[in-house]
Structures are given as C-alpha cells and as structure tokens.
Amino acid sequence: MEALIPVINKLQDVFNTVGADIIQLPQIAVVGTQSSGKSSVLEALVGRDLLPRGTGVVTRRPLILQLVHVDPEDRRKTSEENGVDGEEWGKFLHTKNKIYTDFDEIRLEIEAETERVSGNNKGITDEPIHLKIFSPHVVNLTLVDLPGITKVPVGDQPKDIEVQIKDLIVKHISNPNSIILAVTAANTDMATSEALKVAREVDPDGRRTLAVVTKLDLMDAGTDAMDVLMGRVIPVKLGLIGVVNRSQLDINNKKTVANSIRDEYAFLQKKYPSLASRNGTKYLARTLNRLLMHHIRDCLPELKTRINVLAAQYQSLLSSYGEPVEDQSSTLLQLITKFAAEYCHTIEGTAKYIETTELCGGARICYIFHETFGRTLESVDPLGGLTTIDVLTAIRNATGPRPALFVPEVSFELLVKRQVKRLEEPSLRCVELVHEEMQRIIQHCSNYSTQELLRFPKLHDAIVEVVTSLLRKRLPVTNEMVHNLVAIELAYINTKHPDFADACGLMNNNIEEQRRNRMRELPSSVPRDKTAGGGSQGDQDVGTGNWRGMLKKGEEGVGGDKSMLQTSNPGSPQRGHAVNLLDVPVPVSRKLSAREQRDCEVIERLIKSYFLIVRKNIQDSVPKAVMHFLVNHVKDSLQSELVGQLYKAGLLDDLLTESEDMAQRRNEAADMLKALQKASQVIAEIRETQMW
C-alpha cells in the first residue's frame, strides 16, 4: 500500500501536463495563521530550508509540494540519467525539466514565481506553484502550503485580504479527498484557533482533520501542553501531534533541520516523556504518510469512476470539434450536402434534432397556413367597409339617367370585386410569414443539426448568404402568383357557379315567401294585385330562377318603414335666396322605400354568398401556390445552388479556414482526453497489482 502515494504523484503529474484541476486528488492541505509555524513544519518534513520567510503574508500562492522518497539504488540511476550531482534535488512544473540541487535557489525561484503572478503588493492568487522534491530522507507525501490566515491588512495589502485568504483556504480544504493539517501555536489558546475553526466549517465531524501544535518550547513558565496533546481541550478524531520548531535565532545561525529534530526529541523526552513517542516531526511524517495512504485507498474507486466519466465527456467533445481537414474538396461537399439534407428534413419533420419548445420548420409552415392565414381570412367580414349608402349609390350609378326596373348586374360586380380585393393583403402576408420561417430554418440547422459548420465561420456565412439569396429570389415570384390568384377571381365573376346558383335559388324562395306573408296580412279591402308594382312581369322573373327574380318591385317591404338613409348635410338653402340645384344637399335622413330596402338586402346577400365562395378558393389555393413556388422550389434546388455557388477550387482554402480558437480547443480536448486515458491506465495497474 506504500506505493499508493507515488501513484497519486503520477496522477498529479499527468494532470499537471494539461494544467487542469478537474480531478480532486488526495492531498494534505496545511492551514494556519501567520507565524503559527506552518513553514517550519513543512521544512521539517522536507528536512531542508526551502520556503521564503519574512513578515506579513509570505505565502501568497498555494504551493503544491510533492515529496518523493528515493532509494539509494534509484538515486544513482536517476543521477546518471539526469546528470544530478547530489542525493536530493527539486523540480518545478513551470521550469519544465530544469533540476535544482541548491535549495537556496529553490527558495529564490518560489519568491520570483510568486511575484511574477501575484505582483509585489502582497496580494494573493489561487494559481498554484508545483514543486517536487526527491530525497532519501523524506516519506511520500503530497502537501499544499496555503497562505496564513490574517485579520488586518498591513502596508499595501488589499483591504479585503482576510476574505481573499479565507476563500482560497476554503476552496482547497473543501476538497473531500483532502486531509486538513490544522497548525496552531502552543502559546495561544486552542479554543480560539483560527485553523481549527476554518477546518470545522468544511469538516464538522473532524474525520479528515489532523491538528499540529507547534512551539511547545515557547509556552509560559509553569505551563505545559499536556491537556492539549491528550485531546482534553479540543478533541480531534485524527489526533493532535506536538512539534518543536526552530527559532528565528536558530535559522539565522544556520541550524540544520536534522540538528533541530535531534534537539526536539531531547526536549520531548525531558518535558513529555510519556508522550514523546507519539509526538515530534518524525512521528508527524509517519502519521501523515499512513493517513494519506489510507485516504487514497478510500478515494480511488470514486476517483476511477470520475476519470472514466470525464474521459467519455471529452471524447464526445473532441468528436464534436471534428478531425483536421485533409481532403478539402470532399469535406466541403460533405458539409454542403449535410446542410441541404438537414434543411429539407427540418421542413419535412424528419430532422434528427427536433425542437421541443416551439414549432419549427414544416410544422410552423402548416400552422401559418391553417391557423394564422385561415383564421385571418375567416375574420374578414364579407360586408366589411360596405355601408347601405354605398350599396344604394352603386345601384343608382349603374342605372345612369334612367330609373331602373331591375337592379343592374354591374352594381353587384362592382361591389363584390371591392370586397374580394380585401383578400389580397392577408394572402401576401401569408407568403411573408412562410418566407420568414424558411429564413429561421437556416439558423436552426446551424445551431442544432450541423455543428461542424461552427468550425468554419466563413463557410457558415457563405451558406447563409446563398440560401438567403435563393429565398429572396423566390419571394417576388411567389408574391406575383398570389397576386394573380386574387386577380383571377376579380377577372370573372362567375354567377353561374353551382354554389352561387344554389344560394340565389334559396334567396328567391325566401323573398317570395316573405311577399306572400305580407299579402296575407293586408286588409281584405286592399286589392292584392296593388301590393306589388311589378305585376305579372315580376312573378315571371321569380319563376325563372334568375338572380334578378329576387328584385321585386313594390311600395312596401319588410322593415321599410324603419330603415333610415343617413347622408351628410353641410347646409340648407335659406329662404329668400336664389337656389342652385347643384348645391341642394340630400336630406339628412329619410326612410328607405320598400324597393330600396329590398334591393339593398338582395345585393348584400349576393355579395356575401359570392365572397364566401371566393374566400374558400383563396384559402385553398394560396398555400398550394406558396408550397410550389417557394417551399418546394427551395427544397429541390438548394443543394445544386449551394454546390454551384460554393464548390469552387478558388474558394476551398478560404471557406475551410477554421475559427481562431477551434484548433486550440481541439488540441486542449485531445490533451485532456489523453491525460484522462493515461490516468485510467495508472489506476488499472493499481488494481492489477492489488495495491488496495
């Protein structure tokens, strides 16, 4: 099981190559306040002076410190391969393969790298520094040195430095795969330990928190840390370990870590003899090694699952980016063909990606035909905009200077054409709506159906331009056809239409029935042949079944005494003045005669009957015309149009130029997939060797 930590180090190396932290690997996060002795604890574990020192916030970037134990035999082999002169050395991730054997140089590189990213204003950043130490004197560990907790900004530190540091610490210790090493000085009250307080926020049960009590030799005279080390003050499940740090004087005098550990052992034997074997730097290193190994063993199954899931996701992402273009002609033709096919499939309703939030493509066109256009036509009133005076005026104008015995056909044709003309505007609007939907399908195909087009923005723009141009060319042709459909209806008013003849016959019967009813209601002293001015001629017309038969002459009519004709009255001639006959206004209002009332009613019924016939024809023929001249024509000619406009040797290089970030994203996804696959292999090797 000892080999588990090198495996985690190997996984860390794998993900470091792609600069990714998507996998939360098991590690030990070191937390403590400023001057609590964090750096001294880490240096004691390494056995060398390598961390920057000073006042205020010295650690301003997380330092991921990997300790790798090197056996003497492996050390000689590695020294020969890398040209290393010495038994201990270090390597930074950001300096690639450069090897440091001078630990003072390592400290200077940490300071320089910190200032390079964080600046020199004592600000902090969450971008970590990766350092790997190879030594025969260390145990295998992965530690993360975090900035010390502070309360008050000093000098030119940011005002919210406390919040920044706490957020950075919480981000790292929230990792469920991490062990929290909470460092607290023995000469402070454990009940007020900021490190334990922060650790408890993310690990309330203390299952992954280990407390380290530093500076045991600096406690006030007459006091000791016995109760603290026994866990009587603050119980911690993973335990409390006391250590003795080097003082600043020791550091200034270049006291080695090895001598410091020897003096620490002597102090513990003298001050805490019963606890000496369970405290000290060496015991801390062994404990951390053991805890980390067991923690890794518990985390590996979930880690393996996470890596496999991410590998599948990145494989799918890489597939969506497509392969680098090798055969430009073939690629261009494939993309054009696929777009044309998806465009047609969207219209036909057989597209792979079907919209679920709104109607799209052919379904929306169907809705436009039968709901939007159909309901609009049905809402058009057959007699809308037509008043009684309009009807009466048309009848009079069609008769000329002579009083008419019958209602002239010209008046009916004139008025019905005026009403039929009103169907043209909603018909042209129907064409416009379908054209807009055909335009929207382009964007739908680009977003959902042909993701490859996103790789080539110039090709995408060119395809959009070609399809838009094709739709633009078909729009006037379709509008002309729809205009002609209405013009055809206006060109010939077919009064012999079967549906119109049936309506005329029905109205003849109704009017004749009304005349007979009126005759029955007259007093017996009134001769019945005087009730109608038309005499036998009128009866003869009714019998013919002609639409003129509805126009019966007479002095009385249904509602004739109630109907009033409204006209304008700009002024009346005054008594005593000369009267110009051309200036005499029509009376403001008067009763319609029975003849006028009957004529108007008949004309209105005829207009309504014929209008409904035409509306039915238009409602049926306009969608057919739009489908033939616009929708089907675009479907049938789309691919040939795209090929003819775009499939040219001189355009290949330009059209198949990838977007600036596409190649970069493809390479990043490929690198990440390779790293995940390699990590999966590493974990598989662990299972084969039964390390857990």
Task: Tell the residue number behind the tokens 């029955």, with chain if given.
Answer: 520
Is pLDDT above 50 for 507?
yes
Q: Which of 330-339, 429-438, 439-448 has the least mean pLDDT? A: 439-448
User: Tens of pLDDT along 106-123?
Assistant: 989 998 888 888 777 667
Over residues 593-598, mean pLDDT:
78
| pLDDT score, position 430 | 95
Nearest-10 Cα torsion for 46, 48, 51, 55:
120
Over residues 425-429, mean pLDDT:
94
pLDDT tier for residue 573 given thresholds of 50, 70 and 90: very low
Q: pLDDT above 70 covers what percent of the chain?
A: 78
Length of the chain in terms of residues written:
692
Higher pLDDT, 155 or 376: 376
Listed ranges 148-162, 255-269, 305-319; the one with the highest mean pLDDT: 255-269
Closest by CA position to 441, among listed 463, 458, 456: 463
User: What backbone phi and psi angles, to 5 degrees, belong to 183?
Assistant: -100, 125
CA–CA separation, 463 and 297 (whole Å): 55
Q: Which of 565-569, 623-627, 639-643 has the least mean pLDDT? A: 565-569
Is pLDDT above 80 for 324?
no
Over residues 182-191, mean pLDDT:
87
Higher pLDDT, 394 or 463: 463
| pLDDT score, position 82 | 62
Q: Which of 261-275, 328-342, 489-503, 512-526 has the least mean pLDDT? A: 512-526
Over residues 402-413, mean pLDDT:
72
Contacts of 97 (CB under 8 A, 6+ apart): 91
Is pLDDT above 80 for 143?
yes
Helical (H) or strand (E) element with 633:
helix 632-646
Over residues 387-401, mean pLDDT:
78
| pLDDT score, position 426 | 93
DSSP assignment string, 100-118: E--HHHHHHHHHHHHHHHH
| pLDDT score, position 81 | 58
Q: Which long-range contacts does 282-287 make (Cβ < 8 Å, 24+ apart)? A: 283/241, 284/41, 284/44, 284/45, 284/212, 284/241, 284/243, 285/45, 285/138, 285/139, 285/141, 286/139, 287/210, 287/239, 287/241
Closest by CA position to 672, among listed 7, 83, 14, 2: 14
Is pLDDT above 50 for 267?
yes
Is pLDDT above 90 for 443?
no
| pLDDT score, position 519 | 63
Q: Which of 364-373, 380-389, 497-506, 555-564 has the least mean pLDDT? A: 555-564
| pLDDT score, position 547 | 41
User: Tens of pLDDT along 236-250?
Assistant: 888 899 999 888 788
Closest by CA position to 11, among listed 64, 63, 61: 64
Over residues 321-342, mean pLDDT:
82
Task: Tell the residue number behind the tokens 């440091």, with chain if given.
Answer: 100
Is pLDDT above 90 for 622?
yes
Do residues 65 and 227 make contact, with C-beta atoms less than 8 angstroms apart? no
Is pLDDT above 70 for 503?
no
| pLDDT score, position 628 | 95
Q: pLDDT above 90 covers what percent of the chain?
A: 21
Mean pLDDT (the chain) is: 79
> From the CA atom positions of the chain, what is the Rg in Å?
48
Higher pLDDT, 476 or 533: 476
The answer, as to whether pTM is greater than 0.85, is no
Higher pLDDT, 73 or 383: 383
pLDDT tier for residue 516 given thresholds of 50, 70 and 90: low
| pLDDT score, position 581 | 45
Beta partners for 141?
67
| pLDDT score, position 349 | 83
